[in-house]
Amino acid sequence: MPTLALAWVLRRTEVASAITGASRPEQVHANAAASGVNLPDDLLAAADEALGGVPITRPALAPNAQPGIKHR
């Protein structure tokens, strides 16, 4: 499930990175491996449906951010 969740988040073009926690080295390796996972379209559609409209459908700016300006 963690690999699915990370792969789902990282496929989004508006997501630059995903912050995760790990308490064991194997969790760190599994989290890093999720960045290379390509999820099939039917699985993505099923995940989006299961989330019941929760997914962001377009990029959203952070509070006080302005379009066209890179904030750091």
User: What ranges do the domains of the chain cover?
Assistant: 1-72
Distance from C-alpha of 28 to C-alpha of 20, rounded to nearest angstrom: 9
Mean pLDDT to the nearest integer, 44-50:
84
Q: How confident is the model at residue 47 (pLDDT cuts 50, 70, 90)?
A: confident
Sequence letter at residue 62: A
User: Model pTM?
Assistant: 0.59
* Higher-confidence position of 24 and 56: 24
Question: Measuring CA to CA, how many Å separate 27 from each of 20, 36, 48, 62, 72?
Answer: 10, 15, 25, 30, 29
Q: How confident is the model at residue 56 (pLDDT cuts 50, 70, 90)?
A: low
In tens, the pLDDT along 20-34 reads 888 899 988 988 888
